[in-house]
Amino acid sequence: MMQADNDSTKPVIELIGLNKSYGTRQVLCDINLSIYAGQVIGYIGPNGAGKSTTVKILCGLISDFEGTVLVNGVNIQQDPVAVKKMIGYVPELADLYEVLTPLEFLELMAGLYQLDPAVSKLRILKMLQAFGLGGNLDQRMDTFSKGMRQKVLLISGLIHNPSIIILDEPLSGLDANSVIIVKELINKLAKEGKTIFYCSHMMDVVEKVSDRIVLINQGSILADGSFESLQEMMGKGSLESIFAQLTSTDNLRDTASEIMDAFRQEGGIHE
């Protein structure tokens, strides 16, 4: 299902005038974004900024939005199935069917992506072994740790070799060594021309992994550019401090002081 179109002037993902509200609450306001092949987009923003709503729209989970979403030229509202075929999605802290073994679960996933069973079986085994789960192939996942489940989820998002990969906090629960593996994996996938949409709160990882950072807050894009261009705009500093400058209305150090003050200013300790 690889997209043969290598024309880098044509965006792989195009969000045009994207609006979404739940009742009276506007979650996304007029998002316009063009993403090109081989880009690793770090999609960051504070809690409730609209990150996961964007991801859900891109994955075809939410279809009642205003605006246009094109993936490789296909309108997601008109043909969600075609778009879903091109996308690999690794959800955040997702549930698994725990009573299945990883092998069974991934065979189900591969089947839904319409892969040839012979091909997918081999691929699943190789990937599970590479992630160190070779010894747990036939063990039900209700015994798995958070990190082991996350590995299975990662495989389930990559199994069909998608041209676009959407990762929502893919490192949660992984140990330090697995984090290194996944970061390296993201680099390798991007080099092969895959487009990666990386959602995270971990600024240091986003800073290292992404070549373009999109920062949203309260449903609107505040900044969009490479880490270097953001630094030029906001002054030298880590992504963490740039993030704080753009999204926080208060001085965060003052907030910490206020928290400490809570001990001092009270009249007496309540029992």
Partner 1 sequence: MHSGRKGGFMNKISAFFFWLALLPGSLYRRMGVDLVQLSLILRYKLIMDDRRPNTFQQTQVNRKKEGISRATYGTMLIALLMGLLNLVAFAMGADELTYFTIYFSLFLFLLSSTLISDFTAVLIDVRDTVILLPKPVHDRTFLLARILHIMVHMFRVIVPMLLPALVFLAVEYNWQVVMLFLLAALLASLMAIFFINAIYLLIIRITTPEKFKSFIAWFQIGFMILIYGAYQVVPRASSMESVQNFSVQDYSLIGLFPPYWFASSIFEGAGLDGVRSWGWLLLTVVMSIGSSWVVIRFLAPSFNQKLAMLSGGETGAVAGSTVVSGMSRVGYADRLANWFTFSSVERAGFLFTWKWALRNRGFRMRVYPAIGYIVVWFVISIYRNVLQLDDNEPESSSIMLSAAGLLGLIYLSCFIFISAIQQISQADEYKASWIFYSSPVAAPGLLLSGTLKALLAQFFLPLAVLLLVLGISWQGMSAVPNLLLGFSNQLLISGLLLLVNYKKLPASLPANKADATGNFLRGMLMLLFNGGFGLVHYFIYSFPVVVWISVVLSGLSVWLVYRRIARVSWSEL
What is the 3-state secondary structure of 33-59?
EEECCCCEEEEECCCCCCHHHHHHHHC
Write out the H or E segment, with its range, that includes residue 81: helix 80-86
Among the listed residues 22, 176, 263, 269, the single contact to partner 1 using CB under 8 A: 22
Task: Spell out, one character per residue from 154 to 193, where the chain touches partner 1: x when CB under 8 A holds, - when not.
Answer: ----------------------------------------
Helix (H, G, I), strand (E, B) or coil at 136: helix
Tell me the window of 57-65, 67-75, 196-204, 219-227 that interacts with partner 1 (CB under 8 A).
57-65
With beta carbons less than 8 A apart as the criterion, state whether 200 and 42 touch. Answer: yes
Q: Contact between 113 and partner 1 (CB under 8 A)?
A: yes
* Residue 71 CB contacts under 8 Å (≥ 6 apart), including other chains: 12, 13, 14, 58, 83, 86, 87, 164
Q: Contact between 50 and partner 1 (CB under 8 A)?
A: no
Among the listed residues 17, 111, 134, 235, the single contact to partner 1 using CB under 8 A: 111
Q: Contact between 63 and partner 1 (CB under 8 A)?
A: yes
> 43: burial class by Cβ within 10 Å (0-12, 13-18, 19+)?
buried
Q: Contact between 60 and partner 1 (CB under 8 A)?
A: yes
Q: Contact between 14 and partner 1 (CB under 8 A)?
A: no
Site for partner 1, rule CB under 8 A: 22-25, 48, 52, 56, 59-64, 81-82, 84-85, 87, 89, 91, 94-97, 99-101, 103-104, 107-109, 111-114, 117, 140, 142-143, 271
